[in-house]
Structures are given as C-alpha cells and as structure tokens.
Structure 1
Amino acid sequence: MNDLPLSEPSLLARDEGYWQRVASRYDIEPGPINLEYGYFGRMTRTVAEHYQAHIAAINRAGSLPVRQHFEQVGSLEIHAAVAELLQVPVNTVALTQSTSASMLSLIRNYNGLRPGDQVLISDLEYDSVKHAMRWLAHNRGVEVIEIRHPHPATFDNLLDSYRQAFERYPRLKLMALTYVTHRTGLVMPVQAIAACARAQGVEVMLDGAHALGLVDFTLDQSGVDFAAFNLQKWIGAPLSLGVLYIAEARLQAIDPDMSEANYRGDDIRSRAPCGTPNIPAWMTLPTVFAEHRAMGGAAVKGARLSYLRDLWVEQVRPLPGIEVMTPDDPRLYCGITSFRFTRHPDQAAMARRLLDEHNLFTVAPEGSACGPCIRVTPGFTTTPDDLQALVRALHELA
C-alpha cells in the first residue's frame, strides 16, 4: 500500500479492491456488523503483533531496559514521532492516557482565570469536559455558561451562536470546543470559531478526540493554543494513549500538573499526570504511525468514511419516519452521522432492535439539545454492503 495515489483521496475512497486489501490487514471476530467504531478502532494485525511482542519483551526483561533506554531515549523518540504526526514542534506535545485526561489537565491547570470570570461550554461537549468546567466554578469561583446549538445546524448559525455568546457574556475568558461531536458527528467550524474567540480575548481548549486521523487538518492553521487528542480511534493505536498539545508560546498559561516535579517547568511533560505509562503501547507507536501513513493518512481515511456515510445518508434522508441529525454541508460532517426514528420516542430501544433484529451494532447517545439519536460510525473494514443492510433495516423499522 505504499504506492497510493495520495493526490486523489476521493477516488481511492471508492476503490473497493483497495479497501478489501486494507480489511485483510485486520483480524475480525465474527458477529454483528459493527457500526460503532467511534469508541475505539481496531489495530491492524501488524500493530497488534508488535504490541504483543513489546508486552512480552518488557515482561521478560523487567525494568532494566526501561530505566536504561526507554526513559532516557525511547520515550523522547516516541514524542518526536507524535509531534511529526501532528506537524508541530516536539516541545508542544506530551503523551497521556486519553483525550479526557489531556482535557482535564488543561482545564484544571489553566492559570488565567479569576473569581467572577466566565467559562463556556455547549450541549455537545463530552460529559467529562462539562464536569471539569463545572469543577472550575466550584473551585475557582468562575461562572459556567452553557449554550445550546441550533438544530438543524449550519455553518453560519453555529458561528453565530458563539458570536452571540461572546457579546452577551463579556466576562468570558475560556471555552471548550469539540472538533467532531461524539453525540451527532457534527464537525464544528473550528478555525472560524477560534478566530472569533481570539478577537474577543477568549481562550479555546479543543477536544479533538474524534478528529485526529479522521479530519484532515493542521494545528497551526486551526487558531487554537490548547488541544487534546487520542491515538486509539482513527490512528489505530493500542488503548490508553492520548495527546496533550500546548502551543510553544503558551506553555506558561498551563501550570505543572499538581506541582509536578519530575520534569522542569519548561517541559510540557510536567503538564500531564506523571505515572508509569503503558510502555509497550508507547513502543508500538512508530509501527502505528507507519500503518496510518501507509493507508493514506487522514486525507484518505476521512474520504473513505465520508463516502461510506454518504452511501446510507443519501438513501435514508428522504425516508418518512427518519430524521438525519447531521447536515450535508461537507464542512460540517465526516464519517460519523446520527439519526433518529421520529415515530419512536425511545432511541435506545430502537438501537437494540437494530442489533437484535438486523444484526447491526450502533449506539444511542443522549445529551444534545436536539434530542436523543442513534450514531452510525463505520470503520476501515466496513463495506458498502454493510451500509445497505442498515438502509434496509431503517426502511423496515421507520
């Protein structure tokens, strides 16, 4: 897969022969059709084998190679590989356990808040991020402002919802922003929102859990100084790996985590909780990144999953009894899209029927202002036939 026509990701997205070869790189347990790759993705067989080999090697050798090589050399090389993946300087990234761990470190250690300041969240933020912002209210004396995004969403009304918040709440200093929302799959116009926030003196903390490897973006063009990502959804890493990003010039805006003293104050690694990491998982990352690039990176992966999304959405959107929650504006969607049965109030019950009656595994997230829905998230082994099975099921159940 090293001779990819990377200049044509939209064409490669439709090349079923290529994606059959991709699918052959994964070991898949027989069972229901998995349309819930949003939780975490699969490792390729090569990555899983390397991971198992690293587990066995560390287990045999004990702490000696970790002390002598990994801590002194290996971990630095791995951080450099992560920085290369994100196309940022190496001193702006640190590895953590998850996106949530990274976001919580950023939020609790941000030192730019004073009692009476305001912080902003929306209905589409991840629950742990909402809880962390409310923790600030209790411990820092700030006020939490929560906005509800309009539905149906458009580029302009999403941006306008933030503009209105900035005008209405002049004491806003900090906001969370989710790049790809886990509830509906809506892709937020990050660059436009961040520019608007910056003009009003509001700092943005970007939750990029679903974005990395799925959306083709560069951080230096996003306009954000603080961000969190994970490597286990669309990059294909073992579980337990997240990334913390702080722009080079903004490190001092985030205090060392709970007075972390294992690293110097000018080392970004002091901003993340310190502990023994999943060393074999870290050691597997060079293989993970090689596999990611061999598949075509975010440009090709994102194009493929958006193509699969379009296959079912185009057939289902006109269907009576079904409402597709995610807009068709290509700026606002990716491979993840949600819908709901308008004639059935209990979406979780309908997700169970999709599984029990049609062998289709989905999830029914709640919490968005537009209401409960069912999320469909294809993966790199998903086929057009799998999506046709979904279309047939929705026709029958609607």
Structure 2
Amino acid sequence: MRPEPDKDWSKFWWLEPDVTFLNHGAFGACPKPVLEVQQQFRLRLEQQPLRFLAQDLEGLLDSARQVLAEFVGADPLDLVFVPNATTGINTVLRSLHFMPDDELLTTNHEYNACRNALDFVAARSGAQVVVAEIPLPIESPQQVIEAVVAKISPKTRLALLDHVSSQTGLVMPIQALVRELSQRGIDTLIDGAHAPGTIPLSLPTIGATYYTGNCHKWLCAPKGAAFLYVQRDRQAQIRPLTISHGANSPRTDRSRFRLEFDWPGTYDPSAYLSVPTAIEFLGGLLPGGWPELMARNRAKALAARKVLCEALNVSPPCPDEMIAALAVVPLPDGSYQALQISLLNQYGIEVPIVPWPGGQKRLVRVAAQIYNTVLQYEYLAQALVKLLAAEAG
C-alpha cells in the first residue's frame, strides 16, 4: 500500500496526492503561502505596470536581496538575481575571456547543463577543459581535494566546481577546494544549485570568486529565482546575458553591476520578490528554524539511504559527512530510463534514476524534504527490489 506524505507538512504544498514525490531536488516545490504572495505581486504588476516596473521594482528588489543576502551571509551589494543557477554559470563563463593555452578545470560530477556551458566557451576560445575524476564510491572528502589539486597546472585559469553534486548528492569540501585554488591564483566559479537551504552558507567565508545558487529548490521559492554572487573587484567584468538599458545608464547612485542585472527588459520579477516569504515560511515551520529544518532533512536523507542500502544489500557510496538532503544508492546495471518509468507507472513513485558514469550504470537519488517520511523510502525500497528482480529474470 502506498504510504502518504507527512500530512502535517504536505498540506502546504500542491503536490499530487497520488504520487510518492521523492524528487524535491529536481525543481523544488513551492508552498501554497509563497505562491499566494507571488500572485499578489503579479496582480500588483498588472494593475499598474508602469508604476510597478518603473518606480516600485528597484526598492522591492533591494528589500528581497537584503533578506537573501542575510540568509547566505553575504553583502547585498555583491548579489544579483538570476532565473536559475545555470544562467548564473553561463553569465560568468560568457563574460570572461579565455585564450587557447588556458585550461578550465572541472570534475566528472559537474551538472550536465553547466558542463555544456563550459565546453561551449572553451570551444569558442580554444581553451581546454580538464576534468578531475572524483571516485564514487568515495571514502573521504580528502579524495576530492586530491583529485582536483592533481589536475591543476600553470595554465589553469578557472575552476568550475559543484558545492552539492546534482547527480550524486555529494557535499564537496568547497571551502578547502577554493582555498587550494586561490593560493595558486586560480579563480573559482561554484555551482551551488542545491546548497541554499540544505547546508548553512557564508559566501565570504567560502571565498569563491563567483557563486551561484537556486532559491526555487530547497528554499522553496517560485520557479525562476536564483542568485549570482560576484566578488566586488570582479563585478565590472561580469555582464548579464541580456544587455539592456543599464549598460549606458548615467546614474551614479548604484553600481553598474546592479543597474545591468536588475533591469534586463520587461520581465516578471515576482519569483525574486517572493524569496523573502519563502525563507520566512520554511524557517518558521519548526521551533529551531532553518538549522533544525536542515538537520532534520539531512537525518531523513541518511535514514532513506540506510533503508535502501539494506534492502538492496549494498554499501553506502560515501561517508555520512558528505550528505545533506540528497543521497544516492548504486543499482545493478540496466536501463535507467526504463526503471524510472516503471517506478512511476507501476508504483506512483517520482524519483530519479541517474546514469553514472553513463551507459548502463545507475544510481537512485532520493531527496528529503519536510513532507517526506521514512515509510515512503521503505515503499521505494520494496518497489526497487521487485523491479530489479523482474529485470534479472
């Protein structure tokens, strides 16, 4: 029998009741109260578009950015809103200029869309993409550091690194990696798509040159809300993908960085403006606020992994310290698409089966949000055992 989500919390989301939703990490899910606030902003925009966009928006963005900056431990002057982390990665990569002898360092865990952006700029400039192979299974974060450092050369110009890997859910030792690279004069671009809302953040402490993260995933803001952080001394180099009025604005009361990013042309800013409500709402669900929510989700992810590993008779592929709100478990070789479709069609389970490192190798990746229960993970384990047995004949 299919278990229900935790009713104390699932009532705040619009998720389909007949689907066991274990894939919050893909696109997030926005709570009803946050969507209501977004709709209020949209109505305000439509009631008086000129006043809203030309007069009110700048102050509203500043207020939303202030709340977000406090959450990620940054100065709001160093943050701009972007629609998603992939846009943030593209924005930085396409603003920088590389030479044919340059090397752009990344890992085999990098998110496919962002790896495509790296390959694009490398092909355009003649630079070389160098890939550090981080093993899975992995025994310690030190193996990540060793793998990345081993690929550094005098030609390394930039490193694109995940904070939390989308494919494998690994929390990378990002502060140590940034320190190793910075000591060698190498800039760092951090893909933090899954970090905000799953691990505590202090962007200046991390020390990355550039950092981008999503608000629509674990902060549960509406779709199309993310941020880009750029160190103050690099902001003049970073231009938005859309060049608009800010490029030649005569204003001197705001940085060119804000003038360009805050006005890309006519758009719907309601997702950005709803970020403070999302932070407040999720942070108010438990007595301990965000720290308790993040700890609770992490504990749930570890419990889910334990259930799956025991049912499938496999070992955890990484130490507990490398887990936040996502966890993966290895599966026998086979078609990842077919298995994911069978889980949904036969059992009503929405969970990603991830190809790793490609071909017929597979991982099951579970997400842990407050509305999920251990009974749901047990149900997934039972379904996997049956489907894998059927595959094996």
TM range (shorter): 0.7 to 0.9
CA shift for structure 1 position 20: 5.1
Q: How far, CA to CA, are the matches of 1:161 and 1:188 in structure 2?
A: 12
> Which digits, 9 at most, give the CA deviation of each residue in 1:162-181, with x for residues without a partner?
11111xx3211101001111
State which of 36, 39, 54 in structure 2 corresponds to 1:67: 54
Counterpart of 2:175?
Answer: 191
Residue type of the alignment partner of 1:144: V
CA shift for structure 1 position 383: 1.6
CA shift for structure 1 position 255: 4.9
Residue 284 (str. 1) matches residue 269 (str. 2): no
State which of 327, 339, 343 in structure 1 corresponds to 2:318: 327
For structure 2, the residue ranges without an aligned partner over 5 or more in a row are 1-5, 389-393
For structure 1, the residue ranges without an aligned partner over 5 or more in a row are 1-18
Residues 315/363 of structure 1: CA separation in 2 closer, same or farther (3 Å cut): closer
> Which digits, 9 at most, give the CA deviation of each residue in 1:138-158, with x for residues without a partner?
222311112221121221211
Q: How far, CA to CA, are the matches of 2:358 and 2:181 in structure 1?
A: 22
Counterpart of 1:300?
Answer: 292
Q: Secondary structure of 1:268's partner?
A: helix
Counterpart of 1:55?
Answer: 42
Q: How does 1:227-238 map to 2 (within 5 A)?
A: 227-238=211-222
Report the more deviating stretch, 54-63 or 150-159: 54-63
State which of 127, 133, 146 in structure 2 corresponds to 1:142: 127
Counterpart contact for 1:231–1:243, Cα < 8 Å: yes
Report the more deviating stretch, 31-40 or 362-371: 362-371
CA shift for structure 1 position 279: 2.4
Residues 393/362 of structure 1: CA separation in 2 closer, same or farther (3 Å cut): same
State which of 304, 308, 319 in structure 2 corresponds to 1:312: 304
Q: How does 1:171-190 map to 2 (within 5 A)?
A: 171-190=155-174
CA shift for structure 1 position 368: 3.5
Counterpart contact for 2:238–2:257, Cα < 8 Å: no
State which of 380, 383, 394 in structure 1 corresponds to 2:370: 380
Report the more deviating stretch, 24-33 or 45-54: 24-33
Q: How does 1:344-383 map to 2 (within 5 A)?
A: 344-366=333-355, 368=357, 371-383=361-373
State which of 93, 103, 120 in structure 1 corresponds to 2:105: 120
Residues 21/31 of structure 1: CA separation in 2 closer, same or farther (3 Å cut): closer
State which of 133, 149, 153 in structure 2 corresponds to 1:163: 149
Q: How far, CA to CA, are the matches of 1:271 and 1:58 in structure 2?
A: 21
State which of 209, 220, 224 in structure 2 corresponds to 1:240: 224
Residue type of the alignment partner of 1:178: D
Q: Root-mean-square deviation (CA), in Å?
A: 2.5
Q: How far, CA to CA, are the matches of 1:171 and 1:378 in structure 2?
A: 40
Residues 155/80 of structure 1: CA separation in 2 closer, same or farther (3 Å cut): same
Residues 67/266 of structure 1: CA separation in 2 closer, same or farther (3 Å cut): closer
Q: Secondary structure of 1:239's partner?
A: coil
Residue type of the alignment partner of 1:290: E
Q: How far, CA to CA, are the matches of 1:65 and 1:356 in structure 2?
A: 45
Residue type of the alignment partner of 2:341: R
Counterpart contact for 1:240–1:278, Cα < 8 Å: no
Runs (4 or more) in structure 1 with deviation over 6 Å come to none
Residue type of the alignment partner of 1:97: P
Counterpart contact for 1:348–1:363, Cα < 8 Å: no
Residues 268/366 of structure 1: CA separation in 2 closer, same or farther (3 Å cut): farther
Residue 249 (str. 1) matches residue 241 (str. 2): no
CA shift for structure 1 position 297: 5.0
Q: TM-score, normalised by structure 2?
A: 0.86
Residue type of the alignment partner of 1:135: F
State which of 249, 257, 261 in structure 2 corresponds to 1:268: 257
> Which digits, 9 at most, give the CA deviation of each residue in 1:219-238, with x for residues without a partner?
12212120111110011111
Q: How far, CA to CA, are the matches of 1:172 and 1:283 in structure 2?
A: 38
> Which digits, 9 at most, give the CA deviation of each residue in 1:304-337, with x for residues without a partner?
222112222223324456565x41331x111211
Q: Secondary structure of 1:205's partner?
A: strand
Residue 77 (str. 1) matches residue 68 (str. 2): no
Counterpart contact for 1:257–1:271, Cα < 8 Å: no
CA shift for structure 1 position 30: 1.7
Residues 317/29 of structure 1: CA separation in 2 closer, same or farther (3 Å cut): closer
Q: How far, CA to CA, are the matches of 2:168 and 2:274 in structure 1?
A: 32
Counterpart contact for 2:246–2:256, Cα < 8 Å: no
Q: TM-score, normalised by structure 1?
A: 0.85
> Which digits, 9 at most, give the CA deviation of each residue in 1:202-226, with x for residues without a partner?
1110000011111122112212120
Q: How far, CA to CA, are the matches of 1:303 and 1:271 in structure 2?
A: 37
Counterpart of 1:224?
Answer: 208
CA shift for structure 1 position 185: 0.7
CA shift for structure 1 position 65: 2.9
Residues 253/368 of structure 1: CA separation in 2 closer, same or farther (3 Å cut): farther
Q: How far, CA to CA, are the matches of 2:358 and 2:121 in structure 1?
A: 23
